[in-house]
Amino acid sequence: MENVSPSPVPKFGVAVFLLKDKTVLLGRRRSSIGHNTFALPGGHLEFGESFEECADREVEEATGLLIEKIKFLTVTNNVFYKEGKPVHAVIIFMLAAVSAHPQQLPQNIEPDKCDSWDWYDWNNLPQPLFGPLEKLVGAFDPFPSEKI
Ligand code: 8DG
Ligand code: MG
């Protein structure tokens, strides 16, 4: 059979700003894209999923946390290189809060993907941030003026 490689297509990612008071949940990535940078919980959109369902699933898979009040925030278009090959990712950023009951603490359920999950002060974020997140935070405040 002829060796035809499929044309690359953009992927869709969902990343979640999980907010608690003036802090946001971040973890240091172990994945090859953005290795050792701090990023939001998230992952790829699965076929047929809504953005809210993807946010809910990815946060629970990575941290065990149950979330609520999930809202669309913004979208960014990112083209970068992974091992010399271009990757095109459209990232849908969502906003959410940890469900109030029961008292929940983040667990590191995917230690191959992340060092640990911790709450960081929005005004004192850890460095370096994952590129697509860094691009966003300079120009953006995810905290709503009224409580979500
Ligand atoms: P999967 O199991 O769903 O395939 O993926 P994952 O291993 O959980 O995916 P990921 O690399 O954490 O994230 C999915 C895509 O979203 C990836 O192309 C990188 C991109 N992305 C950003 N910003 C952020 C962010 O702050 N956090 C996360 N997790 N991903 C982000 O552009
Ligand atoms: Mg993930």
pTM over 0.85: yes
Q: Pairing state of beta strands 67-82 and 23-29?
A: unpaired
- Residue 56, judged by CB atoms within 10 A of its CB (0-12, 13-18, 19+), counts as buried
Distance 11 CA to ligand 2 centre (A): 14
Q: How many angstroms is it from 50 CA to the middle of ligand 1?
A: 16
Over the stretch 86-126, which tens digit does the pLDDT of each residue have? 889 999 999 999 998 768 999 999 999 999 999 999 999 99
Q: Does 45 sit in the ligand 1 pocket, CB within 6 Å?
A: no
What is the per-residue pLDDT across 28-69, written as a single tens digit (0 to 9) for each? 999 888 899 999 999 999 999 999 999 999 999 999 999 999
* Distances from the Cα of 99 to the Cα of 65, 107, 142, 148, angstroms: 8, 15, 18, 12
- CA max distance for the chain: 60
Ligand 1 within 6 A of CB of 39: yes
Asked if the model's pLDDT at residue 141 lies above 90, the reply is no
Three-state DSSP class for residue 3: coil
CATH code matching the domain that covers 11-136, chosen among 3.90.79.10, 2.102.10.10, 3.40.50.2000, 3.30.70.660: 3.90.79.10
| Closest residue by Cα to residue 33 from 75, 81, 79, 88 | 81
Q: List residues, by chain if needed, whose CB lies under 5 Å from ion ligand 2.
A: 43, 58
- In this predicted model, what pLDDT tens digit does every residue of 71-95 receive, in sequence order? 999 999 998 887 788 889 999 999 9
Distance 103 CA to ligand 2 centre (A): 23
Ligand 1 pocket test, candidate residues 91, 95, 114, 129, most atoms within 8 A of CB: 91
Whole-number pLDDT of residue 5: 65
**142 CB near ligand 1 (under 6 Å):** no
